[in-house]
């Protein structure tokens, strides 16, 4: 009987994309649901990817003059009442602390006690509490710009949650900056947007589209919100992060004022920006295949895994000696100015089982080394960007000489593949009927796999945007920064339009 | 009129130690109280010290086989009811989330809505929620040891708070490990205690005493708690961190079971351990003087600050050219395998003002460089471990050649000074009257400055411990690990005792 083509992950992407996603997360041992509704446990493999994201971005923030600080987890309810739009945006998803003690409930259990006079909100974002500090810190133009970042946990009470993509508690960084002029604040907003987009392309191997959000998709209270959007393999858009120009709204709500060079008092201009653990979800969905996670080398916690193969003590000694020398050699090399992560999997399990585990975990390079490889001074190499069976013998010195360039090649391959996919699935559409057909799933049992991104004209009217959203669950992901001036007709109402925007279903 | 001897910090340590502490924190711009009662804002200078602590400890945890993960902020109330002693220990200081929304209260304000069926506790520590995960992760002896750490924020509702030392929310790391045998869990507990104590001595320049806590001072639910205690300059003890052997108590409460090598099911053995942002308070109080913060070089965010001195554009160009070359040269050097932090203070302020600011911030080395220094190819150097006026001219090449050894010398000086202070203030006391006199403040207006650490005999009876605490607010800080067997009489009741313990007032 012929061997059936089988994948490590069931179901496949084609069969059931949402379930495939869950299975990839599980098979790679990255995260799991906790006993607290909507809150995830980030397991070591998933967390180490976050650590890499954090370290890389943190260095970039510092290079551009930002410093880290830490602000309270709790926000007094009254702070939330200061900026009307802002509270409107978050009031429906707030965790509220009302008590400060537990005491005996008389039935063998516990009940809350010590009622607070003013309730505290667990931060869903920190503009208001940070604004209160900034009001104290900023007095003169000499104190500006103030460029602060915070790495923290935040809570937004979500009804429908999905590991990494949407969880009640998530980890993020939130940048908050204060400037003397509108121009400086806008420049900061765009600087960070570019920093994020470059990071997504260069590290996460993820092609993204940078653009501005329409009014209905803006951050509550912002003057303008900029986003970078990535295409997942189900052709949906994922908002990978945002950078907000807040104008003087929050400065006015929090009284962030400064004396300008002429000695007059002015309200300052602020920005805020953030990316979250959702980026891990984006990596999974942009790159992984039906055998599990595929990690771009520049963000992988381990770059090389070595599985020693032996049948008896004599072979074991021979193989492990060779492996240990190779491991030491690899450790002396640097990729991306960091030590290469090399792991020898010595567990008492069958070789095939171990290899599949590392495939599912997405490690860029797997090496199998047995007695014959030792004799031939070679390694048997598999690359995660190629098929699992596509392995080859490589002389060990060649392997180490080429290791950095191989890792770069894998990084580029992964990026190119995602870029090709994105470009194939961004379509110019100028006809309402085509537009509606594009976004209507052909297979009702599998509605996730549908069109892709539509580049279409929009008149700028929120009503057209609303109607399309109601009809198709399709939203304007962004008005791309590089959109050319081009006259056309709104895809919904046929009114004049001067540029195309990106429509898509989204996460 | 003769210049009066004046310090940068008012009051001095002698005048009012608690107020001096607050003023040092403020003058170094490290942290401030927030609008949320008991929660602090950690400002960039304070936070960057925490980042250094975090980076160094994290590397050490990883070197010893631990990995990071992240667990939910919220703990279901029912989890808290599982381990009786544990809940008893924390129930009085819990922030309780009871609602998930805010809605219009009809009076122009907001009120909590969306009542939870089960209240959630903001984690005061994570044993119970992590235990629930570990119960799923551990099945076989092959899964052990499980060595997990988490960097997180925690909340303990404190009535009296002090920046860094005791705050309602603080940052920490919490290690949680699972082992197959009692011995392995005890070994882990002691491994971490040693790691912490070495870190305190080698990085924070802080002499510490390692020992075991008495039953009354133990972590709620632990079998045994080990601590390392440091002496502050008011001669009080500060518990700098703890490592707990939890026995099988938490494993039983959370059902962490595994199949042993013989195929039988057993409860596992667990440990937990942590240090917090309190370490920053410890650095301040162990080393700083009446001119402000003194930072050990191995934990300082900046090692060298350069203040250029010039009076006109010609001098400015000359000086800044020289300074910039020196800065580049310093940047190529590495101290402790990290880049040296060098900052050029170019602000439009008077030189003296800038220099005092860096003294108050505790930077190890200050350089003043004016046109005459450029001509002489020299720098005018001040060291934070010496008096502010004790500065000297150094040839610039000599300066860079010796920079690493100078930093090491400063590190050692700071440690030696703290060690001498500690040793001078640890006293053997064998007489109850002397003991009571030792701990009775001579100056009632300044009760903080009193005896120090008493090494005295204790019979092991909790009643004697309790009486001393009631009478003097003095507690047993620890039973030192290196306490010699020595027969003596309990300082309180005269019963037999076989070793001395450390008594002190504490933070």
Q: Same structural domain for residues A249 and A333?
A: no
The reply to whether B256 falls in a domain is yes
Q: How far apart are CA A501 and CA A480, in angstroms?
A: 6
Determine the distance in angstroms separating the CA of A43 from the nearest CA of chain B, rounded to an integer.
5
Q: Same structural domain for residues A343 and A401?
A: yes
Q: Which of A287, A316, A342 is the last residue of a domain?
A: A287
- Helix/strand/coil for B249: helix
Q: What angle do CA A472, A475, A481 make, to 5 degrees?
A: 150
Q: Using an 8 Å Cβ cutoff, are A96 and B101 in contact?
A: yes
Among the partner-chain residues A34, A132, A152, the one whose CB lies closest to the CB of B35 is A132
Name the residue of chain B whose CA is nearest to A91's CA: B102
Tokens encoding B84? 């009786």
The reply to whether A103 falls in a domain is no
Q: How far apart are CA A18 and CA A162, in angstroms?
A: 9
Q: Same structural domain for residues A229 and A209?
A: yes
Determine the distance in angstroms separating the CA of B345 from the nearest CA of chain A, rounded to an integer.
14
Q: Give every CB contact of residue B506 below 8 A, 6+ residues apart in sequence.
A: B229, B236, B237, B238, B239, B475, B477
Among the partner-chain residues A51, A70, A73, the one whose CB lies closest to the CB of B47 is A70
> Which pLDDT does position B5 carry in this prediction?
54
Q: What is the pLDDT of residues B360-419, one digit of tens each?
A: 999 999 999 999 999 999 999 999 999 999 999 999 999 999 999 999 999 999 999 999
The reply to whether A6 falls in a domain is no
Any CB–CB contact under 8 A between A351 and chain B?
Answer: no
Q: Same structural domain for residues A61 and A173?
A: yes
CATH no. for residue B418?
3.40.50.800
Among the partner-chain residues A74, A77, A171, the one whose CB lies closest to the CB of B70 is A171
Cβ A48–B40 below 8 Å, yes or no?
no
Cβ B98–A99 below 8 Å, yes or no?
yes
The reply to whether A381 falls in a domain is yes
Q: How far apart are CA A456 and CA B363, in angstroms?
A: 58
Any CB–CB contact under 8 A between A132 and chain B?
Answer: yes
The reply to whether B59 falls in a domain is yes
What's B42-86 look like in SS3? Answer: ECHHHHHHHHHHHHHHHHHHHHCCCEECECCCEEEHHHHCCCHHH
Q: What is the pLDDT of residues B24-66, one digit of tens each?
A: 999 999 999 999 999 999 999 999 999 999 999 999 999 999 9
Residues on chain A touching B119 (C-beta within 8 angstroms):
99, 112
Query: In chain B, how many domains are there?
Result: 3
Any CB–CB contact under 8 A between A77 and chain B?
Answer: yes
CB neighbourhood size of A277 (10 A): 25
Question: Which residues in chain B (231-290) have CB-CB distances under 8 A to chain A?
Answer: none
Q: Same structural domain for residues B220 and B256?
A: yes
Cβ B94–A100 below 8 Å, yes or no?
yes
Q: Same structural domain for residues B133 and B281?
A: yes
> Which pLDDT does position A216 carry in this prediction?
94
- pLDDT averaged over every residue in chain B: 95
Picking from A293, A294, A304, A308, the residue whose alpha carbon sits closest to that of residue A345 is: A308
Tokens encoding B351? 């030189």
CATH no. for residue B57?
3.30.930.10
Residues on chain A touching B348 (C-beta within 8 angstroms):
142
Question: Which residues in chain B (164-203) have CB-CB distances under 8 A to chain A?
Answer: 169, 171
Tokens encoding B167? 């705050």
The reply to whether B11 falls in a domain is no
The reply to whether A11 falls in a domain is no
Cβ A75–B36 below 8 Å, yes or no?
yes
Cβ A70–B109 below 8 Å, yes or no?
no
Q: Same structural domain for residues B177 and B67?
A: yes
Task: Walk along chain B (507 residues) and give the pLDDT tens digit of each residue.
Answer: 444 558 999 999 999 999 999 999 999 999 999 999 999 999 999 999 999 999 999 999 999 999 999 999 999 999 988 877 888 888 899 999 999 999 988 888 899 999 999 999 999 999 999 999 999 999 999 999 999 999 999 999 988 999 999 999 999 999 999 999 999 999 999 999 999 999 999 999 999 999 999 999 999 999 999 999 999 999 999 999 999 999 999 999 999 999 999 999 999 999 999 999 999 999 999 999 999 999 999 999 999 999 999 999 999 999 999 999 999 999 999 999 899 999 999 998 999 999 999 999 999 999 999 999 999 999 999 999 999 999 999 999 999 999 999 999 999 999 999 999 999 999 999 999 999 999 987 777 776 667 899 999 999 999 999 999 999 999 999 999 999 999 999 999 999 999 999 999 999
Tell me how far CA of residue A168 lies from CA of A41, A51, A124, A162, B163, in angstroms.
12, 20, 10, 9, 30
The reply to whether B86 falls in a domain is no
Determine the distance in angstroms separating the CA of B104 from the nearest CA of chain A, rounded to an integer.
9
The structure tokens 């019979």 sit at: B459
Q: Same structural domain for residues A395 and A447?
A: no
CATH no. for residue B468?
3.30.110.30
Among the partner-chain residues B80, B100, B109, the one whose CB lies closest to the CB of A95 is B100
Question: Which residues in chain A (79-118) have CB-CB distances under 8 A to chain B?
Answer: 79-81, 87, 91-103, 109-110, 112, 114
CB neighbourhood size of A78 (10 A): 13
Q: Same structural domain for residues A269 and A307?
A: no
Q: Same structural domain for residues A133 and A242?
A: yes
Q: Give every CB contact of residue B403 below 8 A, 6+ residues apart in sequence.
A: B304, B330, B333, B335, B340, B365
Task: Walk along chain A (507 residues) and give the pLDDT tens digit of each residue.
Answer: 444 558 999 999 999 999 999 999 999 999 999 999 999 999 999 999 999 999 999 999 999 999 999 999 999 999 988 877 888 888 899 999 999 999 988 888 899 999 999 999 999 999 999 999 999 999 999 999 999 999 999 999 988 999 999 999 999 999 999 999 999 999 999 999 999 999 999 999 999 999 999 999 999 999 999 999 999 999 999 999 999 999 999 999 999 999 999 999 999 999 999 999 999 999 999 999 999 999 999 999 999 999 999 999 999 999 999 999 999 999 999 999 899 999 999 998 999 999 999 999 999 999 999 999 999 999 999 999 999 999 999 999 999 999 999 999 999 999 999 999 999 999 999 999 999 999 987 777 776 667 899 999 999 999 999 999 999 999 999 999 999 999 999 999 999 999 999 999 999
Any CB–CB contact under 8 A between A429 and chain B?
Answer: no
Q: Which of A248, A264, A287 is the last residue of a domain?
A: A287
Question: Alpha-carbon Rg of chain A, whole angstroms?
Answer: 26
Among the partner-chain residues B35, B74, B103, the one whose CB lies closest to the CB of A91 is B103
Name the residue of chain A whose CA is nearest to B70's CA: A42
Q: Same structural domain for residues B274 and B317?
A: no
Any CB–CB contact under 8 A between B41 and chain A?
Answer: yes
Question: Which residues in chain B (145-164) have CB-CB distances under 8 A to chain A?
Answer: 148, 152-153, 155, 157
Greatest CA span in chain A, whole angstroms?
87
Cβ A109–B39 below 8 Å, yes or no?
no
> Which pLDDT does position B441 carry in this prediction?
79
Residues on chain A touching B109 (C-beta within 8 angstroms):
77, 81
Residues on chain A touching B133 (C-beta within 8 angstroms):
32, 34, 41
Residues on chain A touching B148 (C-beta within 8 angstroms):
44
Q: Same structural domain for residues B377 and B442?
A: no
The H-or-E segment that residue B266 falls in is strand B265-267
Residues on chain B touching A39 (C-beta within 8 angstroms):
72-74
Domain hosting residue A156, numbered range: 17-69+129-287
> Which pLDDT does position A6 carry in this prediction?
83
Picking from B284, B297, B280, the residue whose alpha carbon sits closest to that of residue B385 is: B297
Tell me how far CA of residue A455 lies from CA of A282, A463, A501, B90, in angstroms.
22, 19, 6, 56
Residues on chain B touching A70 (C-beta within 8 angstroms):
41-42, 47, 50, 171
Cβ A77–B348 below 8 Å, yes or no?
no
Q: Which of B252, B287, B322 is the last residue of a domain?
A: B287
Residue from B94, B139, B150 whose CB has the most chain A CBs within 10 Å, to mutate:
B94
């Amino acid at each position: 009987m012929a061997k059936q083509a089988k994948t490590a992950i069931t179901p496949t992407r084609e069969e059931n994309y949402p379930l495939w996603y869950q299975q990839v997360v599980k098979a790679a041992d990255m995260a799991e649901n906790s006993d607290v509704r909507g809150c995830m446990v980030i397991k070591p493999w998933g967390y180490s990817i976050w650590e890499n994201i954090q370290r890389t971005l943190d260095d970039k923030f510092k290079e551009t003059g930002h410093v880290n600080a830490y602000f309270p987890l709790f926000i007094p309810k009254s702070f939330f009442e200061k900026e009307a739009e802002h509270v409107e945006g978050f009031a429906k998803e707030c965790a509220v602390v009302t008590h400060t003690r537990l005491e005996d409930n008389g039935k063998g259990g516990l009940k809350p006690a010590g009622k607070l006079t003013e309730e505290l909100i667990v931060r869903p974002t920190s503009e208001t509490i940070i604004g209160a500090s900034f009001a104290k810190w900023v007095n003169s133009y000499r104190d500006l710009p103030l460029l602060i970042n915070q790495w923290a946990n935040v809570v937004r009470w979500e009804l429908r949650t999905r590991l990494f993509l949407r969880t009640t508690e998530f980890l993020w960084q939130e940048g908050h900056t204060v400037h003397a002029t509108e121009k400086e604040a806008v420049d900061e907003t765009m600087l960070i947007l570019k920093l994020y987009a470059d990071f997504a392309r260069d590290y996460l191997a993820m092609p993204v589209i940078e653009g501005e959000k329409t009014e209905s998709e803006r951050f509550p209270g912002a003057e303008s919100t900029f986003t970078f959007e990535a295409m997942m393999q189900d052709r949906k858009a994922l908002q990978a992060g945002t950078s907000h120009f807040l104008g003087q709204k929050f400065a006015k709500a929090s009284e962030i004022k400064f004396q300008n060079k002429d000695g007059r008092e002015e309200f300052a201009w602020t920005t805020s920006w953030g990316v979250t653990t959702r980026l891990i979800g984006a990596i999974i969905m942009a790159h992984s295949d039906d055998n599990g996670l595929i990690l771009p080398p520049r963000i992988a916690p381990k770059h090389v895994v070595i599985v020693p193969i032996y049948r008896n003590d004599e072979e074991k000694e021979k193989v492990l000696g060779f492996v240990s020398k190779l491991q030491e050699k690899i450790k002396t090399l640097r990729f991306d100015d960091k030590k290469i992560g090399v792991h020898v999997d010595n567990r008492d399990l069958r070789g095939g089982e171990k290899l599949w585990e590392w495939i599912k975990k997405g490690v860029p390079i797997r090496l199998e080394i047995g007695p014959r490889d030792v004799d031939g001074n070679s390694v048997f190499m598999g690359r995660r960007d190629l098929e699992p069976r596509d392995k080859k013998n490589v002389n060990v010195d060649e392997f180490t000489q080429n290791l950095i360039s191989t890792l770069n090649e894998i990084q580029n391959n992964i990026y190119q593949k995602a870029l090709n996919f994105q470009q194939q699935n961004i379509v110019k559409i100028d006809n309402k009927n085509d537009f509606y057909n594009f976004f209507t799933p052909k297979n009702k049992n599998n509605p996730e796999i549908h069109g892709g991104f539509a580049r279409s004209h929009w008149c700028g009217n929120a009503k057209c945007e609303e109607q399309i959203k109601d009809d198709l669950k399709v939203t304007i992901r962004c008005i791309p920064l590089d959109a050319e001036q081009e006259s056309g007709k709104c895809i919904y109402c046929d009114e004049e339009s001067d540029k195309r925007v990106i429509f898509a279903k989204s996460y």
